[in-house]
Amino acid sequence: MGETLVVRPGEKITVEMTMTVPAKNNSPYSFNNPLLQQVGIHQPLNKPSLDHVDLITGRIAGVIPPGSPGYAVANAGGVAGASIVYNPTTTISQQIHANNMRSKRLRDGSTQLTFTTIFTAGTTPSYIRARGTNIPVATPNVTDSAGSPLLDVNNALVSCTDPACPTHLAAVNGVKKVTFDVQAYSNVWFYANPIFIRPEGSSKLLVEKNADLARRLAERADNDHDGHGHDHDHDRHDHDGRDHGRTRSRPRLRSGSVVAVQDFPAPPALSYAGYGSRRASAGFLETNAASNEHFNGLSCRLPHRRCGHAM
């Protein structure tokens, strides 16, 4: 999960996000996306492009134990599963279209997109997270008027009429529908782990307490592993001479820098930094394995602390 940015109420927070959309994904299909053809967009299934990113915010009211009043609410969609866990303060605060992002073509044919925007810190704990998709707002049977996704079952109301549509798709009266792997390659989304924002002077959030506990457990595990105190990382310096800590796959964040936390070569990371000497690292963005789209990071900074974007 993302960690926490501690700010003064009313302070301006700059959010910067950089995404890399590959030249093509792993889809075996090159015919046009049938969900997008409804709205006049001709986009091959193996070459999806970003339509927009939603920056979603909400207040953090504290821990609510399961079973308590307010933990879950009736599912307005009337879907099986009588109630859902829901934060009524959640809203799409900003929606940034890909046309309004800075674009850079990379050597491998992929496209790097970047945007920067501003939020104002409130007086109560909150969060910001990112969600992006190749689907425009109000696409029939796919997204609602705000751009939020409809249930996947609605996609099956759309026909797949291209001659290249595979034979294994579900069909109604002999007409193939957007189902199975074609549905997965057509309706692509990514979700970023949240950045938590806490006003200065307020109590630590549960996510901070859990992070503290995780660090203590990791240190204990390192000590147990080292046995007699032998440091297998050669005084914790890599070949570049800098101190990176024991776990080489999780580099330190230094003051004034934002470094992606990469445990694996493919998934991108979510990173952000505070001001002064404060630092924070975070978790991974979720990517759609079917689309193979990589979105390389989200960083937050305060006005007087210039940070590079996560890569």
SS in 3 state form for the chain? Answer: CCCEEEECCCCEEEEEEEEEECCCCCCCCCCECHHHHCCCCCCECCCCCCCEEEEEEEECCCCCCCCCCCCEEECCCCCCCCEEECCCCCEEEEEEEHHHCEEEECCCCCEEEEEEEEEECCCCCEEEEEEEECCCCCCCCCECCCCCECCHHHHHHCECCCCCCCCCCCEECCEEECCHHHHHHHCCEEECCCEEEEECCCCCCHHHHHHHHHHHHHHHHHHHHHCCCCCCCCCCECCCCCECCCCCCCCCCCCCCCCCCCCCCCCCECCCCCCCCCCCCCCECECCCCCCCEEEEEEEECCCCCCCCCC
Query: At residue 274, does pLDDT exceed 80?
Result: no
Q: What is the mean pLDDT of residues 61-67?
A: 81
pLDDT for res 163: 98
Number of residues that make up the chain = 311
As a whole number, the mean pLDDT across the chain is: 75
Query: At residue 127, does pLDDT exceed 60?
Result: yes
Q: What is the mean pLDDT of residues 240-258?
A: 34
Structure tokens at 26: 């792993």
Residues of the chain with pLDDT > 70, as a percent, come to 68
Q: Do residues 171 and 277 touch, judged by C-beta distance below 8 A?
A: no
pLDDT for res 67: 79
Query: At residue 241, does pLDDT exceed 80?
Result: no
Q: What is the mean pLDDT of residues 270-287?
A: 26
Q: How far is it, in rounded angstroms, from Cα 234 to Cα 246?
A: 10
Q: Do residues 5 and 280 touch, judged by C-beta distance below 8 A?
A: yes
Q: Which residues of 94-124 are buried (b: 16+ CB within 10 A; e: fewer)?
A: bebebeebeeeeeeeebbbbbbeeebebeee
Q: What is the mean pLDDT of residues 78-86?
A: 59
Residue with the larger pLDDT of the pair 248 and 153: 153
Residue written as token pair 């000497």 = 277
| Structure confidence at residue 107 as a pLDDT band (50, 70, 90) | very high
Query: At residue 7, does pLDDT exceed 60?
Result: yes
Say if strands 83-85 and 72-74 run parallel, antiparallel, or are unpaired. Answer: antiparallel
Query: At residue 284, does pLDDT exceed 50?
Result: no
Q: How far is it, in rounded angstroms, from Cα 21 to Cα 190?
A: 12
Say if strands 102-105 and 195-199 run parallel, antiparallel, or are unpaired. Answer: unpaired
- Among 161, 159, 168, which Cα is nearest to 140's? 159
| Structure confidence at residue 72 as a pLDDT band (50, 70, 90) | confident
Assessment of whether the complete model's pTM goes beyond 0.85: no
Query: At residue 114, does pLDDT exceed 90?
Result: yes
Residue with the larger pLDDT of the pair 82 and 47: 47
- Among 167, 134, 125, 109, which Cα is nearest to 53's? 134
